[in-house]
Structure 1
Amino acid sequence: MVDSYYAYTPSFAAAIAIAALYSATFIATFCQWIRYRAWVWIVMVLASLMESLGYIARSLSSHRTSTRGLFIAQFTLIVLAPVLMAAASYVIFGRIVFHVMPAHARTTKNLWVPARFITAIFVACDIFALFLQLVGAVLVSGTKPNDPDAHKKLSTGKDIALAGLAVQIICFGLFSIIAIRFNFVWKQFDGEFQGKVGQEDGQKYFIVSGTDRKLKMHWQSLLLVLNITCVLILVRSVYRVCDFALGKTGYLEQNEWPAYVFDALPMLPCVALFVYWHPGKYLPYLGFRLPKSIREN
């Protein structure tokens, strides 16, 4: 029996503190999901739940460092949750584009990808990256140091996980550039946007094309939060690439603090910021499918 799956003594206090923070954000995200009927936001609900369960499992694992199941559970949940956060970013960006830009402006020239396939393309890449990281994470976390074929399993798991992370970084990196660039692109059509601005009870609003729904004028706050989220997810992804590349004997695997500084803490705002700047406060349509009137106008 292996003495410990960790190369250090894991901190129970750190794990339980982060678990409490993620649990609080999960509860808030879940309640808002119901309140705003933001059904498409289920992806972020699941991501926050995975982070919460991951660190709960890690806190339990800190007292049972030789228990394989707990180690695999915490490692896998924590590694995969940000992939779902990236998927949530794709979904919300796609909705912003359709709510804000007129149909004639949703061109590949302006967005670099077809508007109607923005979410589908990047989510498909995300699913592929998720699968590769899941396979790699299970191989790496489930291999005992004293296994006869440990080196081969660790090497294979590392390569598969790195491939998944590479796919994620390339796709999410491209998406991040598109999302940040959008801050400047949409301003070209601000004249058309302002032409549809109305006012009611002293509050300005924008009528969404082809509907009677209203979009809050300060929707740019949501775009800013999305941009911040993109940067944080990229930072975390680079950390994980370095982690897998260096392997079990690398500095990142031999010390616990990088996991909290470059993974746990950067991912927390990706959920928490959306609790305050929730998409449901800005976008009127957050069902699983956009109305045809929005897609065509």
Structure 2
Amino acid sequence: MAYSYYAYTPSHTAALVFAILFSITNAATVAQWIRYRAWVWLVMVVAGFMESLGYIVRTVSTKNPDKKGLFVAQFCLIVLAPVLMAAACYVIFGRIVYRVVPVESRTTKFLWVPPGFITTIFVTCDIVALLLQLGGAVLVSGTQPTQSNVQQRIQTGKNIALAGLAIQIACFGFFSIIALRFHFISKQFDKRLADKTTDETTEDEKYIMVNETQRKVLKNWRPLLRVINVACILILIRSIYRVCDFALGKSGYLEQHEWPAYVFDAAMMLPTLAIFVYWHPGKYLPYLGFRLPKSRRENL
């Protein structure tokens, strides 16, 4: 019998189903990205491509379990894609803060992090976590039992990946608390926005006066903040699962059975991608270019 990199018999059907679902959802993500010209949302588009490609490669890998390249590719793509999804949440939250919080309230005391570096701080943590997880994932998934130092390589790879996951959970957990807290404390700005709303306001969009100039604000931004909070919960569940997976190692229950990977990873990340298709940031925020406009310091 040929050697298999899987500790179980991988399901071809399950991999194919998720490959199709992720591909469809990512196609919608790309369409919305172009429709709303939400260029900063590229990070979520890339994450969607990684999930889609990951499960497509896994579908092929289930028929070729002895192929190291296929196994490593699908493992790395699936493990790393959620890191970019977390980064997308950071970016959009930063844009909400810019759009909603007046200049005088954009303080570290109010937001718990330096307001001008919200995205930079958390994305930097994400990059460090991604690189560590990538290195650990490659080392663990690519190790064969025939290698002389197999146990040392697996343990080293596991420790590296765990360090990356620990950084991700710590930073993303802190971010989740900040986002949830902001959901409540930002209500103090609702009256201020309402007072500035002009007569041109319609059901789908409203206009406010900023420095004697009329500016458009698309719909109510609160649904988008709620979606970010839901995405945080899903990503945290998946990250905790991966920590347990790496901690238990190849002989652990999570590595010996396939269903947890689909329940606690695939089934968490698919809705994370899907909910942003319906509640796309472009529906709620008027500007999603790569750089904030020069007027970013103005009050709304």
TM-score range, shorter chain: over 0.9
Indicate if the aligned counterparts of 1:2 and 1:146 stay in contact, CA closer than 8 A: no
1:207 matched to 2:214: no
Question: What is the aligned partner in structure 2 of residue 218 from structure 1?
Answer: 220
Partners of 1:61 and 1:67 within 8 A in 2: yes
Unaligned runs of 5+ in 1: none
Q: What letter corresponds to residue 268 of structure 2 in structure 1?
A: P
Q: Distance in 2 between matches of 1:187 and 1:87?
A: 25
Q: 1:244-263 deviations in whole A, cap 9, x for unaligned?
A: 00000000000000000000
Evaluate the alpha carbon distance shift between residue 138 and residue 212 of structure 1 in structure 2; reply closer, same or farther with a 3 A threshold: farther
Match of 2:79 in 1: 79
Q: Deviations over 1:40-84 (max 9, x none)?
A: 000000000000000001000000000000000000000000000
> Could you tell me how far 1:117 is from its partner in structure 2?
0.4
Equivalent residue in structure 2 for 1:247, among 239, 243, 249: 249
CA offset digits 1:123-182 (Å, max 9, x no partner):
000000000000000000100122111100000000000000000000000000000100
Q: Percent identity?
A: 65
- The within-5 A match list for 1:1-297 is 3-200=3-200, 202-203=202-203, 205-207=206-208, 209=210, 212-297=214-299
Instruction: Confirm or deny: 8 A CA contact 1:208 1:294 kept in the other structure.
Output: no
3-state SS of 1:198 partner = coil
Residues 223-280 of structure 1 deviation map (CA, whole Å, 9 limit, x = unaligned): 1100000000000000000000000000000000000000001011111000000001
Task: Name the stretch that deviates more: 23-32 or 200-209.
Answer: 200-209
Q: Which amino acid is 2:110 matched to?
A: N
Q: Is the 8 A contact 2:33 2:39 kept in 1?
A: yes
- The answer to whether the 8 Å contact 2:7/2:255 transfers is yes
Q: Shift of residue 212 of structure 1?
A: 4.1
Cα separation, 2, equivalents of 1:261 and 1:115: 36
CA contact (8 A) 1:209 1:294 kept: no
Once residues 72 and 179 of structure 1 are traced to their aligned partners in structure 2, the CA distance between those partners, rounded to angstroms, is 34
Contact 2:197–2:209 under 8 Å retained in 1? no
Which blocks of at least 5 consecutive residues in structure 2 are unaligned?
none
Instruction: String of CA shifts for 1:102-121, please: whole Å, max 9, x gaps.
Output: 11111111110111100000
Which amino acid is 2:224 matched to?
Answer: L
What is the root-mean-square deviation of aligned Cα atoms in Å? 1.5
Letter in 2 for 1:86: A
Q: 191-200 or 105-114, which moves further after superposition?
A: 191-200
Q: Structure 1 residue 207: deviation in Å?
A: 2.7
Q: Give TM-score scaled by structure 2 length.
A: 0.96
In the alignment, the residues of structure 2 paired with residue 217 and residue 208 of structure 1 have an alpha-carbon distance, to the nearest angstrom, of 16
TM-score by length of 1: 0.97
Give the C-alpha shift of residue 2 in structure 1: 6.0
User: Which residue identity is paired with 2:194?
Assistant: Q
1:131–1:212: structure 2 CA closer, same or farther, 3 Å change rule? Answer: farther
Residues 224, 279 of structure 2: 8 Å contact kept: yes
